[in-house]
Amino acid sequence: MVDILEVKNLKKYFKINSGQLHAVDDVTFSIQKGKTLGVVGESGCGKSTLGRTVLHLLESTDGQIFFDGEDVTHVDAKKLRKLREKMQIIFQDPFSSLNPRMSVSTTIAEPLELSGRFGKAEIGSLTDQLMDTVGLAPRLRNSYPHELDGGRRQRIGIARALALEPDFIVCDEPVSALDVSIQAQILNLMQDLQEKRQLTYIFITHDLSVVRHISDDICVMYMGQMVEKSPSKELFKNPLHPYTKALLSAVPVPNIHKKQERIILKGEVTSPVNPPPGCRFAKRCRYAAEGCQAPQNLTEVSPGHFLACHRYQEID
């Protein structure tokens, strides 16, 4: 199957008074068309910055981005405008991402109008189709965001992202602000849309239960770096990195007879500002040794399973 997106050694640094904040540091991955890559990690690890950098909402500091086999790392305004039609985003907060002064139909119609490809009647028809696709009743056409619940607001965001028929969508924690029952509805909607339209997702979340449900592959990020990447089932069955093990130990198990060790991380969190070259998790890792001060490169340790830890074979 063809890779629709390939990212090589991507970096995004922010300049601050005391140096450079390494938000995304030397991240490499690829996604096949029609698949979902889950990106997990604790708050502040660079998940959202990674997604926004891929979409050029933030410009990269270094590295390469290939979309449909074409290098799109640096593109001019005209090329970026065309690229936006194929690469979209669903934001985390379904309220702040919508203009409170725009109705449901106006919000969904906006990208159709801006594209300049459709007439007024066609825009109205396509808007109705998009509302129906995401499960918004026609009676809500003239409603405003403050009149709707979180689930309906997020459906507006999904419809807006789908308007120009993109191939690739970054889903930036799209269900984290919703009730559990509504989360299930939105996740099922996104999976149905993926199957019907052959969409490719980067699904960013801190909820491991959600990412297990929707992802084909999962990558785990820590302090701007990817520390482990593997197929979803393999990651939950056989986590190798100490950080991944700690994350999975926090997932509730619906079985009162099954005892699970809870790994409590201790120690100082490495500063993302001018970090040392070694493993950034070492200060919190119970298995850290002298060799962890050397750079840890993401290496394929079994088919499809990549890891950035030289001591994984010594860890029980």
- Domains of the chain, each with CATH number or no CATH: 3-215 (3.40.50.300), 237-316 (no CATH)
Q: What is the mean pLDDT of residues 3-29?
A: 94
Percentage with pLDDT > 90 across the chain: 69
**pTM for the model:** 0.92
Residue-level pLDDT at 261: 75
Residue-level pLDDT at 23: 95
Of 273, 265, 289, the residue nearest 25 (C-alpha) = 273
- Is residue 260 over pLDDT 90? no
Q: How far apart are CA 245 and CA 74, in angstroms?
A: 37
* Each residue's pLDDT tens digit, 287-299: 888 888 888 889 9
Q: How far apart are CA 40 and CA 208, in angstroms?
A: 7
Count CB neighbours of 274 within 10 A: 12
Contact 289/314 with Cβ under 8 angstroms? no
Q: What is the mean pLDDT of residues 229-237?
A: 94
Alpha helices in the chain (DSSP H): 47-54, 77-86, 104-115, 120-134, 150-162, 180-197, 208-214, 232-237, 242-249
Residue-level pLDDT at 316: 58
Confidence band (pLDDT; 50, 70, 90) for 1?
low
Name the average pLDDT for the chain. 91
Residue-level pLDDT at 178: 85
Q: What is the mean pLDDT of residues 31-36?
A: 96
Confidence band (pLDDT; 50, 70, 90) for 154?
very high
- Is residue 313 over pLDDT 80? no
Confidence band (pLDDT; 50, 70, 90) for 144?
very high
- Is residue 234 over pLDDT 70? yes
Residue-level pLDDT at 250: 82
- In Å, what is the CA distance from 159 to each residue of 87, 139, 162, 251, 306? 14, 16, 5, 32, 35
Residue-level pLDDT at 139: 95
Q: How far apart are CA 23 and CA 45, in angstroms?
A: 7
Vertex 248 angle, CA 224 and 222, to 5°: 10
Of residues 178 and 66, more confidently modeled: 66
Fill in the amino acid letter for 51: G
Sign, Cα dihedral of 73, 77, 79, 81? positive
